[in-house]
Amino acid sequence: MRPSARCSTLHGYVGLAESFGLDPTWLLSRVELDMADLAVPDKWVPAVAVARLLEQSAAESGREDFGVQLAQLRRLSSVGPLSVVLRDEPDLRSVLQLLIRYEHSYNEAIRITLTEANGLATASVWLELGEPAPTRQALELAVAALLGLIRRLREPQWQPRSVCFTHRPPADSVTHRRLLGPSLRFDHEFTGLVFSSRDLDCANALADPDDPDIRTYTREFLRSLPPPHEPDLVDRVRELVQALLPLRRCTMPQVARALGVTRRTLHRQLAAHRTSFVDLVGEARAGLAERHLANARYTISDVSDLLGFAASSAFSRWFRQRFGVSPTAWRAAAGVAIPGTSSSAPVS
């Protein structure tokens, strides 16, 4: 099933498109959306349609900063009912953890992870659309919106250590530097934000410290939202599969051993969850393939290795069977440039 996104993702789109001399009605129709859709923020539409709309709008207007500009028009309410809870979380760590746990409540295609190491926090962002589509503008919108959210919770002038994108830099980065800050990195290994881990424990500027009882009510409201999927055996297997794939040690006996059960027990437990080890490996590879193919730094051979295939030809056969096109054709349809020699140094 195609992942969807709330129409609030496109808040401000019509006005921005018109300001650049575009016809938003025509552009929406090209991706099978309607102007009436945008009038209902809680309506869900295909996430791939949103991504294609942003790319076409950027191309038609000649503005490579279209997604970044649109992010400036986002409101906290763009993440839907979850915004009520985020407003009163005590610190940034709590806000980001909820934003990640409840991704499904505002955008089914977005993936955000938060990791900490050596005093730095990294919020990585990627999209899983399930089909080839250019994602540059959608990713820039997502990262700029995340940055805007953190600034709203911390302070308007807050700057991360770096703002990173896997795609190449725009021809003119003036707007990107003005809106995202000076520490921009393109052609990077991941897309997202890097900042000090200390920021995670800073107080939420929107929370009311004089009304501690309000969080009791927001927590009650949180329980009214569709609950996030709670980690279970299947999730543990998925995590192990993703860790073992690039090591080419992703076998059922290896995963069973890591879980402390026999292969037969693992097979029985997965069957009780109406899945199998083969299915989970296929799902993990599909998500990772889409993520890595979107990164121009990786060759097809690199992606094949990261997914644990013995040879690129085996990866290509699997990919075509899974998605109906070759990895190269997928990249072409998604507008991913062939890896070059561009530097990942900060844009100056």
pLDDT single digits (tens) 65-100: 999 999 999 988 888 888 888 888 889 999 999 999
What is the C-alpha to C-alpha distance for residues 193 and 146, in angstroms, rounded to an integer? 9
**The two three-digit tokens of residue 235, written as one number:** 């999730």
pLDDT tens, residue by residue, 275-298: 999 999 999 999 999 999 999 889
Q: pLDDT by residue (tens digit) across 187-216?
A: 999 999 999 999 999 999 888 766 666 667
Residue 120 has pLDDT above 80, yes or no: yes
Q: Which residues contact 278 (CB under 8 A, 6 or more apart)?
A: none
| Per-residue confidence (pLDDT) for residue 341, from 0 to 100 | 38
pLDDT at 213: 63
Q: In the chain, which residues fall in CATH 1.10.10.60? A: 233-334
Write out pLDDT tens, residues 169-194.
999 999 999 999 999 999 999 999 99
Cβ-based neighbour number of residue 38 at 10 Å = 20
Residue 342, pLDDT > 50, answer no
What is the per-residue pLDDT for 209? Answer: 67
Task: Name the segment(s) of the chain with CATH classification 3.90.1520.
Answer: 4-222
pLDDT at 230: 67
How high is the mean pLDDT of the chain? 90
Between 340 and 337, the more confident residue is 337
The Cα–Cα gap between 60 and 320 comes to 32
- pLDDT for position 217: 66
For the cut 90, the answer to whether the pLDDT of residue 328 exceeds it is yes
User: What is the percent of the chain with per-residue pLDDT over 90, rounded to a whole number?
Assistant: 76
Q: What is the pLDDT of residue 286?
A: 93
Q: For residue 80, what pLDDT is reported?
A: 82
pLDDT score recorded for residue 210: 62
pLDDT for residue 316 is more than 60: yes
pLDDT at 228: 73
- What single DSSP character describes residue 203? B
217 vs 35 pLDDT, higher one: 35
Q: What confidence tier does 305 reach under pLDDT thresholds 50, 70, 90?
A: very high
CATH of domain 233-334: 1.10.10.60
Q: What is the pLDDT of residues 131-150, one digit of tens each?
A: 999 999 999 999 999 999 99
Nearest-angstrom CA–CA distance, 98 and 228: 10
Query: What is the pTM (predicted TM-score) of this model?
Result: 0.86
Q: How far is CA 17 from CA 10, 11, 23, 52, 300, in A?
A: 11, 11, 7, 14, 36
| pLDDT value of residue 229 | 67
1-32 pLDDT tens trace: 689 999 999 999 999 999 999 999 999 999 99
Residue 343 has pLDDT above 90, yes or no: no
The CATH classification number of 4-222 equals 3.90.1520
Do residues 63 and 172 lie in contact, with contact meaning Cβ atoms separated by under 8 Å?
A: no
Query: In this predicted structure, what is the pLDDT of residue 312?
Result: 94
Residue 339 has pLDDT above 60, yes or no: no
Angstrom distance (rounded) from CA 280 to CA 235: 9
Rounded mean pLDDT of 55-62? 97
